[in-house]
């Protein structure tokens, strides 16, 4: 009597397929449109600009209204002229905000 062989991929392909699947990154939206980190950084950067850099008692009298003002703020931030008291993640978040908001 002959054995009935069920259709399916050969065993040698199963190892390769499993290896490829395990090597892929998780598909939870982290790769879409900059990922969750930059989305959170955008909101944080906007808050830092409005609460700590552009307020009544802050170094700036208003938040950037033009691309030129945003570029000036970014240059001053990178040179350490402004925001020296900010944590490094806050400075990074402000850069993310300026780059995305003003397409720098």
Domain residue spans of the chain: 35-102
DSSP summary character for residue 64: -
Q: Report pLDDT for 8.
A: 59
Torsion of CA 38, 103, 74, 54, to 10 degrees: -80
pTM exceeds 0.85, yes or no:
no
User: Between 104 and 71, where is the model more confident?
Assistant: 71
Distance CA 46, CA 96 (A): 9
pLDDT(32) > 50: no
Q: Report pLDDT for 42.
A: 94
Distance CA 58, CA 82 (A): 10
33: three-class secondary structure by DSSP: helix
């Amino acid at each position: 009597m002959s054995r009935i062989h069920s259709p399916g991929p050969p065993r040698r392909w199963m190892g390769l397929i499993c290896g490829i699947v395990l090597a892929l990154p998780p598909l939870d939206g982290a790769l879409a449109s900059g990922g969750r980190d930059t989305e959170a950084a955008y909101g944080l950067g906007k808050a830092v600009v409005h609460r700590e850099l552009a307020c009544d008692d802050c170094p700036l009298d208003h938040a950037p209204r033009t691309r030129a003002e945003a570029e000036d703020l970014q240059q001053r931030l990178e040179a350490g002229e402004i925001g020296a008291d900010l944590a490094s993640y806050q400075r990074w978040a402000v850069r993310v905000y300026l780059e995305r908001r003003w397409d720098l």
